[in-house]
Structure 1
């Protein structure tokens, strides 16, 4: 119950921060999505299983969630009090008493997010991008804008490989140029790191117990194993990936007699299919604003940009070039990691009570070629889990109003500042959305509160479908990597906090398609018997219900095996080991 309560509070704060990023109204409601998400995370099989045994994982997760909740409240205001800074230090140190690797979640993840928050509170004056004709001046202009805090940090559903690069670059420049503001925000996390460093120096290492069997080792395959782990336990959340396959089947099947063959598409599927994105180079005509139309700026003629600027704008503007290269690079890197860094810890082979023993036995240790073949499921799992945390990712679809508030065609989110977007007279800004400002009790408008409450009554998922930002995803990836890559032992319990943090960021999803007259959503919405069900799942995430039953099924299966399938350890010659005590299967 305690864990579920903490998850509920954290998810509520996440939704509030994401909603306030594009509005001046503070979100006070607790969504149904947050409530059901809290229930499901509490049912997460590893947490559920180890809550009944003497392990510190549940308490460790709870401690990290308390620190995370404090962090989420801190980034809801521009500056925190000295008392809250001291509280942050105390909560961070408490997490280290349970598991030393929690330092990465407190210092790197939460501290990194607060550094981003500090940069975003700079709020420079938004200006029209000038007409620039050379690559050097283009880079110089955006470096200047980054130094002021006009960073590039799009939502995850808008993220492409180059957005990750420029997000990191813009944040780095902004932090270097505004060190006092950043240090003022993150100094409590620096204090936690210093305290941890002092403990390591005093203890002679990170480990408190058996140091000989817990030697820190670079173990990069952990970042390959984690994605199938996420995909297995979050299988119901991957349901949207099955819809395109179902839709293809529906289009192949004969349409004769189909009730949707002559009907109109579902309203959610047909409205505003225009993606809320920015364009590159001369293609920015499609993104021109009303301001441009009124002034007639689109009729002006500008000198042609230099060849280097045109080439750079073309390369970064054609995502079909960047995405395959990025995918190929990740596959090659995965193969290299498998080839040169696969480590099998002696504990993995010695203890046949754990499921990981059998997973390794029948996959990685089965044959050498299987290690390389597993790169395919590693890649697919990674792609699907990142697409899930992005909501409706643009890697494979057009964003619509059913996807999130950024898909309704009304404008782009703030913090869009891609350096390879050129102004040739069609649209002087990448976004007209103002930077979010601090919302205080005095600045809150009662009428806006009532308007928001009414909107949430009409659409309970309104604030739940908003994806996190690119910087959040990258910092999460960094913290996960640092917390896992030093552990030579592959232990499912090590993946608990990464999964919980990832699951907290997953936005809600409503049953919908992305256009088409014969898609499954169109059929369900137009058939009189299925229309009520379709309308219900427009306002309630279908995946949550499936996830609940999935976790219950896994918990029942593992609990049954643990209780009813004990065995006795025996040596190869039949000698009874461990004094004949019963052994039981477990995670």
Structure 2
């Protein structure tokens, strides 16, 4: 009886969330009735696909056409107007809540409230209401991880493959679950009381069975790289791969901003103080190495210097552009990394090692400092946090406040550039 009542409450809360999302979408569509920022390229391309034109490609678009294919069914029901296309991401976000809930249920029994709070991550939630690739890509990767947890590896590989059609870096996370799958087989086979030769045969058979789908995805991606002569579609000059190690610090700053209730917990602070007093030389050497690497492998993309519509423009200009602040931030980064490790250490060293590797592969080649690149790695971490009630409440209140502020500024505080007085500009993540 209690379980039934709990499910009814969860359903009511989810329905309330759907109502709020639809209300916000209506406001966004009324206040921003024309494509904004990257929507200018995505909307035009999607409308071509809706009209059956698959041969024309906007050279400014750098990601595959998964978003446009996902909106194609809309054309069977109605015209692919801006409002209709934006509704695609609303559907993806609502599906993301359900998929996150299933993952949390698998990892630790949890209510849907946690998943609703997680999806409210401000950078993630903001792009629910614009026609960007983020919600669709996240849905595919969440589905992939859920199938992986359930041991349905071919469905996981298929979901990861679909994610690549939204964003090329999804292939890194296919590699992530493939490595986790293989490591589980290695750990199991090592414990078997059989000869070494039989262990090898067993491992080979099990690995081929469960990792074959991931391998096919990897091979197909290599074929794509060969045919495309690189990973980027469209505007390659603005999206060159570099070794931008300072992005690691940027990600840790992002994690601090949006994971503060967990990172700034008293237990984490006490553990860090204990670690720092026991190993001060380790902290000093790590700080010097990180500072040297970050300072010698730092890039400032021309877009960030020229485009004052993004919050990262002001974070860089007023804070991170100053070397003295970057020096102090190194210690902050070490603290955040230590706390994140504490938050997910129950997952084991193998999981953490592959997560760190895949996160670095994803973010380090990116020259542009943009919060959207950090959303998926942080979501993966957050799904594994063991939370306390007061932390969840603090997280929810912080996210709601930040979302209210950023949406208010975006919708009701437009401005114009002097050199382009005919177009309205808006602040956004």
- Residue 339 (structure 1) aligned to one of 291, 295, 304: 295
- C-alpha distance 585-112 of structure 1, shift in aligned 2 (>3 A): same
Q: How far 1:183 moved relative to its partner?
A: 3.8
Q: How far 1:323 moved relative to its partner?
A: 4.7
Identify the structure with the greater helix proportion. Answer: 2
Q: How far 1:177 moved relative to its partner?
A: 10
Contact 1:8 1:38 in 2 (8 A): yes
- Residue 117 (structure 1) aligned to one of 184, 189, 207: 184
Contact 1:124 1:148 in 2 (8 A): no
What is the alpha-carbon distance in structure 1 between the residues aligned to residue 207 and residue 277 of structure 2?
36
**1:553-574 CA deviation, whole Å, 9 max, x = no partner?**
110111111112111012xxxx
Does the residue aligned with 1:11 lie in a helix, a strand or coil?
Answer: helix
Contact 1:227 1:385 in 2 (8 A): no
Corresponding position of 1:561 = 409
Corresponding position of 1:98 = 166
Corresponding position of 1:400 = none
Query: What is the TM-score with the length of structure 2 in the denominator?
Result: 0.71
What does residue range 332-371 of structure 1 map to in structure 2 within 5 Å?
Answer: 332-365=288-321, 367-371=322-326
Corresponding position of 1:37 = 114
Unaligned runs of at least 5 residues, structure 1: 16-29, 75-79, 127-143, 150-173, 249-318, 391-466, 510-540, 571-575
**1:473-526 CA deviation, whole Å, 9 max, x = no partner?**
1111111010111111111000111011010111234xxxxxxxxxxxxxxxxx
1:551 matched to 2:393? The reply is no
What is the alpha-carbon distance in structure 2 between the residues aligned to residue 8 and residue 359 of structure 1?
33
Query: What is the TM-score with the length of structure 1 in the denominator?
Result: 0.53
Corresponding position of 1:222 = 247
What is the alpha-carbon distance in structure 2 between the residues aligned to residue 557 and residue 175 of structure 1?
57
- Residue 470 (structure 1) aligned to one of 330, 335, 349: 349
What is the alpha-carbon distance in structure 2 between the residues aligned to residue 470 and residue 358 of structure 1?
37
What is the alpha-carbon distance in structure 2 between the residues aligned to residue 59 and residue 543 of structure 1?
28
Q: How far 1:197 moved relative to its partner?
A: 0.7
What is the alpha-carbon distance in structure 2 between the residues aligned to residue 468 and residue 7 of structure 1?
17
Task: Report how many residues are paired.
Answer: 333
What is the alpha-carbon distance in structure 1 between the residues aligned to residue 276 and residue 313 of structure 2?
41
1:50 matched to 2:6? The reply is no
- C-alpha distance 359-148 of structure 1, shift in aligned 2 (>3 A): farther
- C-alpha distance 320-219 of structure 1, shift in aligned 2 (>3 A): closer
What does residue range 43-192 of structure 1 map to in structure 2 within 5 Å?
Answer: 43-74=120-151, 85=154, 87-107=155-175, 109-122=176-189, 124=191, 178-192=203-217
What is the alpha-carbon distance in structure 2 between the residues aligned to residue 347 and residue 493 of structure 1?
15
What is the alpha-carbon distance in structure 2 between the residues aligned to residue 328 and residue 219 of structure 1?
22
What is the alpha-carbon distance in structure 1 between the residues aligned to residue 119 and residue 215 of structure 2?
31
Corresponding position of 1:14 = 107
- C-alpha distance 474-343 of structure 1, shift in aligned 2 (>3 A): same
1:497 matched to 2:376? The reply is yes
Corresponding position of 1:235 = 260
Does the residue aligned with 1:580 lie in a helix, a strand or coil?
Answer: strand
Q: How far 1:332 moved relative to its partner?
A: 2.4
**1:384-418 CA deviation, whole Å, 9 max, x = no partner?**
2222233xxxxxxxxxxxxxxxxxxxxxxxxxxxx
**1:127-170 CA deviation, whole Å, 9 max, x = no partner?**
xxxxxxxxxxxxxxxxx99x799xxxxxxxxxxxxxxxxxxxxx
Q: How far 1:369 moved relative to its partner?
A: 2.8
Q: Which protein has greater RCO, CA pairs closer than 8 Å, 6+ apart?
A: 1
Aligned-residue RMSD, C-alpha: 2.9
Q: How far 1:123 moved relative to its partner?
A: 5.8
What is the alpha-carbon distance in structure 2 between the residues aligned to residue 62 and residue 329 of structure 1?
40
